[in-house]
Each structure stands twice: as structure tokens, then as C-alpha cells.
């Protein structure tokens, strides 16, 4: 019988946040989207974009729309895969095995970005989608270890600590990569290497190495797979396990109410995270240096923000703490719609940092508390959580890109995000903030 609350195991679990969070910051948020925009756009002598249409396997589409659609397709593919893979992991006892598969898929995809040029944009977009699938696929199995390695009273703090390490690790690697891009001479390189994009492509390679390397710590310390013989073939075993857990989820009214609320407010959260850089670049024309400083600011403020949410939960209960977080989030797209200057954007970014880590860590720990105690189907349960999150990302970014495409104005898409937070807030109000959450 595995003993919970082992310090070395808890610390090792948090280290996967440290390992994979570099994908979110360097690839999703910072260097990759700017490199993607620069590589897929044509500019005049004054630096103004004259053409941002991309040829994607014969289809011509706006680069920012293609970026949003790629995220949408990748996450929706995970929605189709997870209902099969997570119950299979539970029924076969191979949660860590599946976590490794997705981890290495994501890390290898990031390493492939080293070959990103205008000549192979289509395949880079495919790899971008695979990196998202690798990140998202590994997270669901990673999260499922939380109720197995810790008791309920530690969920909030442990979840916050994981996000905190993720922010610290990703900031450290981003700073290293920025130094290489902005001061290539420190690394024996030249300004020409930076101007040509070589240093940016090396930064993508470092993400893949960092991710795979530090993942070895949780892979070593987390509980080993307890391989079990399958009752029948793998598909029938997976579907049988899925049906069993689905029935349990449907009968848990509190859990289904939370997942419904989570779907709407997380659509808003994840869409902001995924498109904020492109919005600042294309709508506000903020210089790259200003964007980078903003991203670093968000990550650093998110560290105390995660623990602030945990503290609020201990005082008020998880639901009330989440309501406060969602309410603050609702003002972000409203403010962004009227934002016209870089200073206004920096203020909004600081607020995003304050609530970004908090709402994510608290959502994860709240869901863990709603899972039946001592269940052996944690991967299947977190599979439902992950499915909702991936649907949120897919629908949110799809809706954002669709509204921009039909209206020709990205600011109209921002207002849609506001509506998502309002709906999520109203749905979350149906859930009592009981002592069970503390």
C-alpha cells in the first residue's frame, strides 16, 4: 500500500510543473508566437505588415487565425483521445506509461521547431499542434497522481506549489533564451545569428531538452505502474472503465455542476492566455521587448497569486475563493477592449498574473476534492476534468478566431470572452462553499 504525503514524492510531483511549464511560456505565450508572426508575415520598408496570409497545405488563411485554429484542433483531438486513454490507463495500471508517451511527444515537437523556416511552415504548424497534444495529454495523467500521493488537506497548497515551481522554472529558461536572443555575444554568437532567427530556434530546442530532462524526476519518484491484465481487448476494457466512471460522474451532482461552471470560466482564462500576445502585437503594436517584460511580470506575480488563492480557500472555502477569482477575471477582457496604450496593457497584465495561477491551481485542487475518496480511477476522473479543459481551450480559441474572421476586428472577440466569465460566475454560484473544500 502506497503511503501518502511522502515529502520526496510530493516534491517530485511538483517538478513536472517545473518541467512542462516552459512549453506554455516559451512556446505558447512568448517567443514562438512572435517568431511565428514574423516568419509568416511580409513587411514593407517601414516595418508595416503587407501580407499575413499563410499557405497551409494549399489552404490560404490569415496567420493569427491559423494559430488559433491549430490550438483548437489539437485540443479537440485530445478530447477524442482522452476518454479512451485515461480509462485504459486505469484498467491496465499504466498511468505513468501514458504520461511518458505524451511528455516525449511534446518535448520532441518543441525540439523540431529548431527547423522552423518559411519553407516548412505547414509541417511546423503540425508540430505545434502535436506539442500542445503532448503537453495536454501528459497533464491529465500527471494531475491524476494528486489524490494518490497526498491527503485532501494538502491538495490546495500542493497544487499551488506545483504552479509556483512551473512559473519559476519557465521564467528562468525564458530569461536564458532572451539573453541568447538579445545578447548573442554572451554565448559566442553574433547579432546576425539573432537577426536570422537562429537564436530563437535554439530556444525552442532548449524547451524540448528542459521538458524531457526534468520530467525524469517525477518519473523516478511517482508511484510505479501496477500493471494489470485487461479483461478482454484494450478497447473493450477502456470502454467498460469509461462507462463505469461516467455513471459515477453523472450521479455526483456537485461534481457535474462544478465541471459545467469550469467549462465556461476556463474558456475565458485559457483563451486570454493563448491569444494575449498576438492581441498585444497586432492591436496595440507593443514592441517585442515590452511584450517580453510583460510576460515575465505576469509569471512573477502569478507565484504569490497561486498561494493567495490557496489562502482564500482556507478562509472562505474553495467555491467562494473561485468566485472572487472569476469576478476579477471578468474585468480583464472588459478593460482590454478599451485599452489603447502599452501602459494600460501592462496594468491589465499585472492583474492577469495575480489571478492566473490562482484560478488554475484552485480549480485543480477543488476537482480533486470532489473525486470519491480512495477511488482507483483517478486517471479516468481527471480525464473528464481534462476533457472539459480541452473543450474550453478548443471552443474558446475557435470562437475567438471565428469572431475575428467574420468581423475583421480582434476587439470584438475580446467581448465574447467577457460573456464566458459572466456565465461561468453565475454557474459557479450554484455550488455551496462547504467545509469539505477546506
Confirm whether 2 is domain-assigned.
no
Confirm whether 1 is domain-assigned.
no
Confirm whether 48 is domain-assigned.
no
- Say what the pLDDT of residue 282 is: 74
- Say what the pLDDT of residue 227 is: 78
Model confidence at 44: pLDDT above 70:
no
Confirm whether 421 is domain-assigned.
yes
Q: Tell me how far the alpha carbon of residue 384 is from its chain's centroid.
A: 16
CATH number of the structural domain spanning residue 164: 1.20.1250.20
Q: What is the crossing angle of helices 378-407 and 63-92, to 10°?
A: 170
- Say what the pLDDT of residue 232 is: 62
Confirm whether 57 is domain-assigned.
yes
**Long-range contacts (CB closer than 8 Å, 24 or more residues apart) made by 416-420:** 417/267, 417/268, 417/271, 417/272, 417/333, 418/268, 418/330, 418/333, 418/334, 418/337, 420/264, 420/265, 420/267, 420/268, 420/271, 420/396
pTM, rounded to two decimals:
0.82
Give residue for cell 512573477. 300
Confirm whether 385 is domain-assigned.
yes
Q: What is the pLDDT of residues 328-348, one digit of tens each?
A: 999 999 988 898 888 888 888
Residues β-bridged to residue 61: 54
Q: Which three cell numbers stand for residue 207?
A: 524547451
The tally of domains found in the chain comes to 1
CA distance 23 to 27: 5
The phi and psi torsions of 222 (rounded to 5 degrees) equal -65, 155
Using a pLDDT cut of 70, give the percent of the chain over it: 94
CA distance 31 to 346: 18
Confirm whether 47 is domain-assigned.
no
- Domain span at residue 268? 7-42+53-437
Alpha-helical regions (H) of 283-409 = 288-316, 318-338, 342-370, 378-407
Instruction: State the average pLDDT over residues 422-430.
Output: 93
- Say what the pLDDT of residue 258 is: 92
Amino acid at each position: 500500500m502506497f503511503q501518502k504525503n511522502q515529502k520526496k514524492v510530493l516534491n517530485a510531483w511538483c517538478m513536472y510543473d517545473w518541467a512542462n511549464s516552459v512549453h506554455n511560456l516559451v512556446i505558447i505565450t512568448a517567443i514562438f508566437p512572435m517568431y511565428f508572426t514574423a516568419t509568416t508575415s511580409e513587411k514593407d520598408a517601414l516595418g508595416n505588415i503587407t501580407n499575413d496570409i499563410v499557405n497551409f497545405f494549399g489552404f490560404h488563411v490569415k496567420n493569427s487565425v491559423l494559430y488559433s485554429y491549430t490550438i483548437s484542433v489539437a485540443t479537440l483531438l485530445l478530447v477524442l483521445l482522452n476518454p479512451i486513454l485515461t480509462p485504459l490507463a486505469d484498467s491496465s495500471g499504466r498511468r505513468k506509461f501514458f504520461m511518458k508517451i505524451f511528455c516525449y511527444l511534446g518535448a520532441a515537437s518543441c525540439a523540431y521547431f529548431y527547423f522552423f523556416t518559411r519553407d516548412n511552415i505547414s509541417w511546423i504548424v503540425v508540430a505545434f499542434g502535436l506539442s500542445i497534444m503532448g503537453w495536454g495529454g501528459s497533464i491529465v495523467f500527471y494531475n491524476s497522481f494528486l489524490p494518490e500521493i497526498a491527503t485532501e488537506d494538502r491538495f490546495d497548497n500542493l497544487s499551488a506549489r506545483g504552479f509556483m515551481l512551473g512559473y519559476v522554472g519557465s521564467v528562468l529558461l525564458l530569461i536564458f533564451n532572451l539573453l541568447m536572443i538579445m545578447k548573442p555575444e554572451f554565448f559566442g554568437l553574433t547579432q546576425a545569428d539573432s537577426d536570422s532567427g537562429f537564436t530563437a530556434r535554439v530556444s525552442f530546442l532548449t524547451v524540448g531538452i528542459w521538458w524531457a530532462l526534468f520530467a525524469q524526476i517525477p518519473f523516478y519518484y511517482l508511484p510505479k505502474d501496477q500493471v494489470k491484465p485487461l479483461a478482454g481487448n484494450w478497447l473493450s476494457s477502456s470502454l467498460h472503465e469509461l462507462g463505469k466512471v461516467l455513471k459515477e460522474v453523472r450521479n455526483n451532482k456537485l461534481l457535474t455542476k462544478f465541471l459545467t461552471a469550469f467549462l465556461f470560466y476556463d474558456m475565458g482564462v485559457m483563451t486570454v492566455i493563448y491569444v494575449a500576445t498576438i492581441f498585444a502585437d497586432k492591436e496595440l503594436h507593443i514592441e517585442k521587448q515590452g511584450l517580453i517584460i510583460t510576460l515575465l511580470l505576469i509569471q512573477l506575480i502569478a507565484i504569490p497569486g497561486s498561494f493567495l488563492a490557496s489562502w482564500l480557500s482556507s478562509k472562505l472555502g474553495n467555491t467562494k475563493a473561485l468566485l472572487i477569482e472569476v469576478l476579477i477575471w471578468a474585468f480583464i477582457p472588459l478593460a482590454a477592449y478599451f485599452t489603447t496604450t502599452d501602459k494600460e496593457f501592462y496594468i491589465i497584465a499585472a492583474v492577469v498574473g495575480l489571478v492566473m495561477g490562482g484560478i488554475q491551481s484552485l480549480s485543480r485542487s477543488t476537482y480533486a476534492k470532489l473525486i470519491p475518496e480512495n477511488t482507483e480511477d483517478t486517471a479516468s476522473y481527471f480525464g473528464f476534468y481534462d476533457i472539459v479543459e480541452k473543450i474550453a481551450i478548443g471552443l474558446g480559441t475557435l470562437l475567438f478566431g471565428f469572431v475575428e474572421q467574420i468581423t475583421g476586428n480582434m476587439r470584438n472577440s475580446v467581448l465574447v470572452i467577457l460573456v464566458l466569465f459572466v456565465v461561468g460566475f453565475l454557474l459557479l454560484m450554484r455550488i455551496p462553499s462547504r467545509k469539505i473544500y477546506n
